[in-house]
Structure 1
């Protein structure tokens, strides 16, 4: 959390400019709402929403975002010639395929646990990339907060059903 506190005070979350980079932290955090809201609804016993079944909303959005997060590491893979260039494409494909197969074949609870583990593993890869100065401190701060919200939401939803 020290990482986040440093960035809060340095203006990473301040909307004083209109560049796309200024909006990125807010868009990232807004992207956690489709995880958080269905998890809360399910914990309250509400499975149906105006958008449909909360289980399906959470499962499908989780699959979409975990695939997006895994895919975002391909940009790093394509620019590297070290060990990361070999590890990232295999790791990210395994994550995406495991999550997809769990979506197709497994129970909702199993999907939530697999998604939570996948988001945690992707966060650990980003943490290592940050430690090696491959990704920025600002990105890692926002990523940490968003990942915490997402994983907690998935675990809440997985424990409720």
Structure 2
């Protein structure tokens, strides 16, 4: 990654970057702050878990009887659309993983991911809200089961699998709760 220049005059002290470690390093000789190689990997668990927040938020709104979210529309529509986006994202991750694998998973992942999202999309178009939530739960459980097999075969890291498990539990519980609030 290209370093971002930091212009320091002789009147200013170098910024205290202790709170940004280990991702950033300040070089006084070049007056630059540089990101260490592989640093974004430290952020992905937080980004993954933050992806569960809209599920939790919509579930709380449905529990509170809020039918419409200002600027976004119907709460059910917001939840089911976001769930379809995230399910699509997860199946896209599986499809992308097959590109770097050999053996059975290089064949299984693209087929499983395509079947999963196409069936889910058709159900999105056809099912009433509560039944669709059940379909989303099954889809997220299927994606997690695939990740479990990939983890058991050492094809994904323990940190990635643990993060996926945590996020999936939050999402699945939110979807189940949302179905009960209807």
Q: TM-score range by the shorter chain?
A: 0.7 to 0.9
Aligned to 1:21: 41
Unaligned runs of 5+ in 2: 1-19, 24-38
Partner-residue secondary structure (3-state), 1:134: coil
Q: 1:59, CA displacement in angstroms?
A: 0.4
Q: How far apart, in 2, do the equivalents of 1:77 and 1:84 lie?
A: 6
Task: Give the structure-1-normalised TM-score.
Answer: 0.86
Q: Which has the higher strand share?
A: 2
Equivalent-residue separation in structure 2 for 1:16 and 1:146 (angstroms): 25
Alpha-carbon distance in 1 for matches of 2:51, 2:22? 21
Q: Is 1:66 the counterpart of 2:87 in the alignment?
A: yes
Residue 30 of structure 1 pairs with residue 35 of structure 2: no
Higher helix share: 1
Q: CA RMSD in A?
A: 1.3
- Deviation (angstroms), 1:102: 1.4
- Runs of 4+ more than 4 Å apart: none
Q: Matched residues in 1 for 2:55 and 2:120: separation?
A: 16
Residue 49 (structure 1) aligns with? 69
1:139 equivalent among 160, 163, 173: 160
Shift of residue 17 of structure 1?
2.9
Over residues 52-104 of structure 1, what are the superposed CA-to-partner deviations in whole Å (9 max), with x where a residue is unaligned?
Answer: 11101110000001011011012221122311122111111111011111111
